[in-house]
Amino acid sequence: MTTTEEFDSLYAGDPDPWQVASSWYERRKIEIVLACLRRPRHGFVWDAGCGTGELTAALAARADRVLATDPSAQAVALAGARLAGEANVHLERSTLPARPESLTDAPDLVVLSEVLYYLSAADRQATYALLDEVSHPETDLAIVHWGPRTEGATCSGLAAFNEASSELNARGWGRLVTHTDAEFLIGLFSKDIPDEVGGRDDA
């Protein structure tokens, strides 16, 4: 399991170790994450595992407020520089499954992108409990994972995604959107399940 210190060292050696700001794969993935969201705009978004802030910046364009957290102090510093012009974004160093100090309101959207498979099995279970604790009945949850097992992970992305789906379902969350790509998976979950499918709201 990759430690916070190892992430700090990784970011210190390379400010964009996964080329999130430059690779087509990462840029396309961000666009697909945004396309999977069922609402055009959210009041309050929690990006739990923001890294250098590329996805956070995209979320900020569709939210009134964004809380972006990461366990790595180096990542938070890099995200701060990336998001310096985003007045609606607040950054905080925080490690799941702890509740961030700034998370005082229930978010309308929580994003866990490339996060769960770095947590221990116990911390993943505690994270699911935290999601229940901090959410309101209409909160949406977007989970994003690279499918294979990455270096330093405790399990593969597919295993983490399937576990999350099962555990959230047992807690009353339903999956509203599933995107399965050649290398990554996206799921949108909520306890606010529509009674009808295919309706339009033109109001």
Question: Do the domain assignments include residue 107?
Answer: yes
Question: Do the domain assignments include residue 199?
Answer: no
In 10 A of CB 69, how many CB atoms? 26
Angle at 89 between CA 84 and CA 90, to 5 degrees: 100
| Span 38-56, pLDDT tens digits | 999 999 999 999 999 999 9
Q: How far are the Cα atoms of 50, 91, 110 from residue 68, in angstroms, in the given order?
A: 6, 5, 10
DSSP for residue 67? E
pTM value is 0.89
Cα(59)–Cα(53) distance, integer angstroms: 10
Question: Do the domain assignments include residue 102?
Answer: yes
Question: Do the domain assignments include residue 96?
Answer: yes
Question: Do the domain assignments include residue 12?
Answer: yes
| Span 118-154, pLDDT tens digits | 999 999 999 999 999 999 999 999 999 988 887 778 9
Cα(143)–Cα(10) distance, integer angstroms: 23
Question: Do the domain assignments include residue 119?
Answer: yes
Q: Which amino acid is at 164?
A: A
Cα(140)–Cα(54) distance, integer angstroms: 20
Question: Do the domain assignments include residue 198?
Answer: no
| Span 65-120, pLDDT tens digits | 999 999 999 999 999 999 999 999 999 999 999 999 999 999 999 999 999 999 99
* Count: domains in the chain: 1
Question: Do the domain assignments include residue 173?
Answer: yes
For residue 115, give the CATH number of its domain. 3.40.50.150
Beta strand 109-113 with 140-146 is parallel
Residue-number span of the structural domain to which 140 is assigned: 4-190
